[in-house]
Amino acid sequence: MNTRLQVEHPVTEAITGLDLVEWQLRVASGEPLPLGQEQIVRSGAALEARLYAENPATGFLPSTGLLRHLRLPDDIRVDSGVEQGSEVTGHYDPMLAKLIAYAPTRREAAARLAAACRSVEVWPVRTNAAFLARVAADTDFLAGRIDTGFLERHADRLLPPAEPDQATIAAAARWLLPAHGAGDPWTALIGFRIAVPASAPVALEIDGRPYAVDLAMAGSAADGHSLTLEHGEHVLFRNGEAWGFAALRTESSGSPAGGSGGSLIAPMPGWVVAVHVAEGEAVTAGQRLVVLEAMKMELALSAPFTGVVTELKATVGTQVGEGMVLVRIERGVE
């Protein structure tokens, strides 16, 4: 007999009103089960989502680091062992919390769970909150049309996009305006022009990528919450997603996407378990170069194009962080 509680035991507790942990302690101390099976009454519906420190946009690879900002829902049950200031490492399962929503019907419980996932705020560690919200609100999920191929079939509508949508860009841009929150009608006249439509162009960076938006044409303000961390770092939380943003830097230090070279970046923190290339060696597109291991999984990194290895920073047995450059390649003839 498997006597341990399953991760989903809060769902059972929600629909029965019982405390299974208390039951487990009572039985362990020699007491009989408090109730028989026929005495247990079920009512309503409950759904549980596992909030993970992972990035759905990169194939659900783990995300680690310090939880500098953490806000979890306060209107549903939340079971968690972390708090703001905790560190997520690569040594343990990356689950941050369990979110459990209860309601009279499954559809209502799913709506509560989706809303709760959209309210999650975590930074700078990436999470699957937006993905969970999309799943809980999906029409096929609500209708029970799910199987083992559900996520793969509907990845285009369930996985968060790699780049922000226009509403998110506009929301971030509004926080950069001098008039934001000031209530000053004079500074609020940004873009005022006589006899022509108003214009409020804003250039900004979101997660390191440049964007431009004219707020006069962007419609009303989007929902979302922004905060400023130490050193003036701005973060926008919207629908379970988190975006770091700032005013666009104008200094011309060269484009990271320019030139004929490229870098192989660690998409997750982990240990280098294999290196299949040497500095100065010619490689072909798709050739396996480095293998990382983290959280019981291996990830092989391949050459993005044909070329020559100009710099090798990966060494077997060393630990690397997310975003670290492992290999630099100079493009050759395809």
19 has pLDDT over 70:
yes
The residues annotated as belonging to the active site are: 4
Q: Of 158, 185, 215, which residue constitutes the final position of a domain?
A: 158
Domain range spanning residue 77?
44-158
Tokens of 113: 């769970």
In angstroms, what CA-CA distances link 191 with 68, 180, 211? 36, 14, 18
CA distance 260 to 3: 59
| Sheet bearing 95-103, strands edge to edge | 45-52, 95-103, 77-80
In this structure, the answer to whether residues 110 and 149 fall within a common structural domain is yes
CA distance 15 to 40: 10
In this structure, the answer to whether residues 111 and 142 fall within a common structural domain is yes
- Could you give the percent of the chain with pLDDT greater than 70? 84
Contact yes or no for 266/275 (Cβ under 8 A): no
In this structure, the answer to whether residues 154 and 173 fall within a common structural domain is no
334 has pLDDT over 60:
no
> Which of the pair, 207 or 43, is modelled with greater confidence?
43
Bridge pairing between strands 87-88 and 201-206 = unpaired
296 has pLDDT over 80:
no
pLDDT, tens digit, 9 for 90 and up, residues 105-154: 999 999 999 999 999 999 999 999 999 999 999 999 999 999 999 999 99
pLDDT band at 230 (very low <50, low <70, confident <90, very high): confident
In this structure, the answer to whether residues 115 and 175 fall within a common structural domain is no
In this structure, the answer to whether residues 144 and 73 fall within a common structural domain is yes
Q: What is the pLDDT of residue 191?
A: 56
Q: What is the pLDDT of residue 204?
A: 85
In angstroms, what CA-CA distances link 229 with 69, 123, 179, 245? 9, 10, 20, 11
Q: What is the pLDDT of residue 278?
A: 92
pLDDT band at 218 (very low <50, low <70, confident <90, very high): low
> Which of the pair, 255 or 305, is modelled with greater confidence?
305
In this structure, the answer to whether residues 215 and 146 fall within a common structural domain is no
Tell me the one-letter amino acid at 58. T
33 has pLDDT over 80:
yes
297 has pLDDT over 80:
no
In a domain, 299, yes or no: yes
Contact yes or no for 308/279 (Cβ under 8 A): no
Q: What's the CATH number where 267 sits?
A: 2.40.50.100
In this structure, the answer to whether residues 113 and 140 fall within a common structural domain is yes
Q: Of 134, 158, 182, which residue constitutes the final position of a domain?
A: 158
Q: What's the CATH number where 124 sits?
A: 3.30.470.20
Q: What angle do CA 85, 91, 97 make, to 5 degrees?
A: 50
Residue holding tokens 């666009």? 248
pLDDT, tens digit, 9 for 90 and up, residues 241-271: 999 988 876 543 333 333 445 778 787 777 8
Q: Which of 124, 213, 203 is nearest to 167 (CA)?
A: 213
In this structure, the answer to whether residues 304 and 209 fall within a common structural domain is no
pLDDT band at 183 (very low <50, low <70, confident <90, very high): very low
In this structure, the answer to whether residues 215 and 311 fall within a common structural domain is no
Q: What's the CATH number where 237 sits?
A: 3.30.700.40
Q: What is the average per-residue pLDDT within 37-63? A: 93
Q: What is the pLDDT of residue 58?
A: 81
Please tell me whether the overall predicted TM-score, pTM, comes out greater than 0.85 for this model: no
Print burial letters for 179-211: b (CB count within 10 Å at least 16), e (below 16).
eeeeeeeeeeebeeeeeeeeebebebbbeeeeb
Contact yes or no for 52/127 (Cβ under 8 A): yes
> Which of the pair, 132 or 188, is modelled with greater confidence?
132
Establish how many alpha carbons lie within 13 A of residue 270's alpha carbon, considering only the half-sphere containing its beta carbon. Answer: 25
Q: Which of 269, 272, 235, 262 is nearest to 328 (CA)?
A: 262
Count of domains observed in the chain: 3
Q: What is the pLDDT of residue 260?
A: 45
State the chain's mean pLDDT as an integer. 84
pLDDT, tens digit, 9 for 90 and up, residues 278-288: 999 999 888 88
Q: What is the average per-residue pLDDT within 59-63? A: 86
